């Protein structure tokens, strides 16, 4: 979500005076630095439930004329009062982008989320599937717009040999790569189980799982239990993850839930065939049979079958990779995302 916001900041920098309000924490320092480098005014916020939060946001809105207040929310509770404060302050365009599906099932929490976000003049969903989870909860479709995520082209692609050398892989290995937080939602355990089914037939197979998270120890134990220590690798977080895509023959995203996964778009930009689970977001990025394959979530057997077919057919991988790159250029560039977001701003301002 931070990268998405920075791309919007950069796209708006020569058209508007941009300020970024974000919780101040060591983990967010990179975001403040990057936003400032792109010409934005970076303002530190306390936590959303800190008593000082309304005063800081309200004080900012009182001190500066704001035409558009744009809130970005993953799970929905990151900014419980910001939209209301902006609306009360008379901001002409109050917008929220929903980056994840509506996943709250407790009635009181669900109603609170809908109430807190109802102050927006417009809602942006990063995928049609995300939008549908909100409208199913009674949120009106009237002011909902779908603006898919976009990613920038890679600046420095190291090439296959250098990327494989960085991961200590051989030129003739079959390499499957995935990227994401090591959490249950990302479904890496199913990729490990699929690898256990495939390695006997493909002893040259190497599965690389880039990322860090709470499930590291559990996943390491699973790798050991399945006897995959030489075939499945968990190098941790890598800042050069997009460059390391060049090492892969296939990119896999075995998630149980998504909004609109940037990593799939990045893989397609890199010209890789992609294999993903049929979940919200992923199913709108991957065109099965054209840019890759979609399989049911949480099904290691189906994942192994589809992956085995791709690993055994280099021509199919090349066709999918080329088609995926063309689809990226048509649908998922940053320029397209920024243009469509600006159109939402203009539409709301035009109604005022």
Number of helices and strands in the chain (H, E): 15, 12
Nearest CA among 31, 33, 78 for reference residue 53: 78
Mean pLDDT, rounded, for 25-40: 88
Report the candidate in 150, 105, 104, 106 with the shortest Cα–Cα distance to residue 124.
150
Same fold, 2-150+333-351 and 160-331: yes
Which of 3.40.50.2000, 3.50.50.60, 3.40.920.10, 3.40.50.10210 is the CATH number of 160-331?
Answer: 3.40.50.2000
E strands within 27-92?
41-45, 68-73
Q: What's the token pair of residue 99?
A: 């980056």
Q: Which two tokens stand for residue 32?
A: 């403040």
How do residues 188-223 score in pLDDT, each as one tens digit? Answer: 999 999 999 999 999 999 999 999 999 999 999 999
pLDDT digits (tens, 9 = 90+) for 139-174: 999 889 999 999 999 988 999 999 999 999 999 999
SS3 category, 122: strand
Q: Report the percentage of the chain scoring pLDDT > 90.
A: 85
What residue segments make up the domains of the chain, in order of their start?
Answer: 2-150+333-351, 160-331
Q: Give the residue-averaged pLDDT of 178-195.
A: 98
Question: Residue 42: what pLDDT?
Answer: 92
pLDDT at 352: 67
pTM: 0.94
Q: Does the structure show a pLDDT above 90 at 28?
A: no
Query: Are the CB atoms for 206 and 239 separated by under 8 Å?
Result: no
The confidence band for 77, taking pLDDT boundaries of 50, 70 and 90, is low
Question: CA 319 to CA 215: how far, in whole Å?
Answer: 35
Average pLDDT, the chain: 95
Q: Residue 76: which pLDDT band, with cuts at 50, 70 and 90?
A: low
Per the structure block, which two tokens stand in for 79?
Answer: 């900014």
pLDDT at 168: 97
Tokens 């599937």: give the residue: 129
Which of 2-11, 180-189, 328-337 is predicted with the least confidence, judged by mean pLDDT? 2-11
Whether the CB-CB separation of 309 and 282 falls below 8 Å is answered with no
pLDDT recorded at residue 27? 79
CATH, range 2-150+333-351:
3.40.50.2000
Whether the predicted pLDDT of 78 surpasses 80: no
Alpha helices, DSSP H, located in 136-277: 160-166, 188-198, 216-225, 241-244, 262-269
How many CB atoms within 10 Å of residue 295?
22
Backbone angles phi and psi of 182, in degrees to 5 = -85, 80
Strand partners, 61: none
Six-digit token string for 65: 């004329």
pLDDT digits (tens, 9 = 90+) for 224-263: 999 999 999 999 999 999 999 999 999 999 999 999 999 9
In sequence order, which residues have a C-beta less than 8 Å from that of residue 271 and are 6 or more positions away?
Answer: 321, 322, 324, 325
């Amino acid at each position: 979500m931070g990268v998405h916001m920075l791309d919007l900041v950069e796209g708006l920098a020569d058209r508007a005076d941009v300020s970024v309000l974000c919780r101040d924490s060591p983990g967010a320092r990179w975001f403040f630095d990057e936003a400032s480098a792109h010409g934005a005014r970076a303002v530190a916020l306390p936590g959303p439930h800190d008593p000082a939060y309304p005063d800081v946001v309200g004080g900012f809105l009182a001190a500066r004329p704001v035409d558009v207040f744009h809130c970005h929310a993953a799970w929905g509770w990151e900014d419980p009062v910001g939209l209301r404060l902006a609306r009360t302050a008379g901001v002409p365009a109050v917008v929220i982008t929903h980056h994840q599906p509506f996943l709250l099932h407790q009635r009181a929490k669900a109603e609170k989320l809908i109430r807190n976000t109802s102050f927006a003049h417009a809602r942006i969903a990063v995928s049609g599937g995300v939008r549908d989870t909100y409208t199913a909860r009674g949120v009106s479709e009237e002011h909902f717009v779908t603006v898919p995520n976009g990613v920038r082209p890679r600046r420095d692609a190291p090439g296959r040999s250098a990327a494989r050398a960085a991961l200590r892989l051989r030129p003739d290995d079959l390499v499957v790569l995935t990227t994401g937080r090591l959490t249950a939602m990302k479904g890496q355990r199913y990729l490990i189980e699929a690898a256990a089914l495939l390695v006997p037939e493909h002893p040259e197979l190497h599965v690389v799982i880039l990322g860090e998270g709470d499930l590291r120890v559990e996943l390491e134990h699973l790798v050991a239990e399945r006897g995959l220590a030489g075939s499945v690798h968990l190098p941790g977080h890598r800042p050069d993850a997009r460059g390391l895509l060049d090492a892969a023959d296939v990119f896999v995203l075995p998630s149980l839930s998504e909004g609109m996964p940037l990593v799939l778009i990045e893989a397609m930009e890199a010209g890789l065939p992609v294999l993903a689970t049929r979940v919200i977001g992923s199913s709108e990025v991957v065109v099965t049979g054209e840019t890759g394959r979609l399989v049911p979530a949480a099904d290691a057997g189906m994942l192994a079958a589809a992956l085995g077919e791709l690993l055994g057919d280099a021509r199919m991988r090349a066709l999918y990779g080329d088609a995926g790159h063309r689809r990226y250029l048509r649908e998922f560039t940053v320029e397209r995302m920024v243009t469509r977001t600006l159109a939402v701003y203009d539409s709301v301002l035009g109604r005022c």
